[in-house]
Amino acid sequence: MSAHAHPPSLDRDKALIDVARVIVASALTIGSVLLTAFGFVERVVGIERIATDRRFTLLALMPGAAALAFLASGRALGALYDVSVPARKIPAWRRAFLRFVDISGAYGLFAIVISGLVAVASFLAIALLLDLRLMVLSTLSGVLAFCVALSGMLMRYSPRRRLIDFALAVSILVAMAIDQFY
């Protein structure tokens, strides 16, 4: 063995891909466990009681935490796509469509499923915040969360996308905090 052995060079893209895969898998698992546990308790206790009884305040935070986990999973999946597939010089709407149908539609399916999970968890978080009143507002927030999550996975990184992601995460956190202290 030589005294001047050099460590192997780090392939940055391969390392990013590995980290993104771990984040996607772990965030999906965490979000799924939170939403599933919430569903089991909701079946036993009832959604109305969770929304109105302050003893279940921490339980009411689970959908919001699940939404944040699914959002993190979607962003990691988008970063994985950004590293794996080279950028194309085409209009943004066409790029998003091509990104949606790439990989024989598997990425598009994941994007829809993860966005749907973000939407459901956001809907539940807002519905619980409002004590199940104004379901139209809760539904609109779920639809908006779906659109933000889906567009974030179908568009390449940009400052505008980061701002939209940040606004969604902050709104979920604010809803959770208001529900906790209200």
CB atoms within 10 A of CB 140: 13
pLDDT at 12: 73
Q: Which residues of 50-63 are buried (b: 16+ CB within 10 A; e: fewer)?
A: bbeeeebeebbbbb
pTM: 0.73
Task: For residue range 107-155, list pLDDT tens digits in order.
Answer: 677 778 888 888 888 888 888 877 777 788 888 888 888 888 887 777 7
Helix (H/G/I), strand (E/B), else coil: 80 = helix
* For residues 38-49, average pLDDT: 86
Task: For residue range 84-116, list pLDDT tens digits in order.
Answer: 777 778 777 777 777 667 655 666 777 788 888
Q: How far, in Å, CA of 114 to CA of 128, rounded?
A: 21
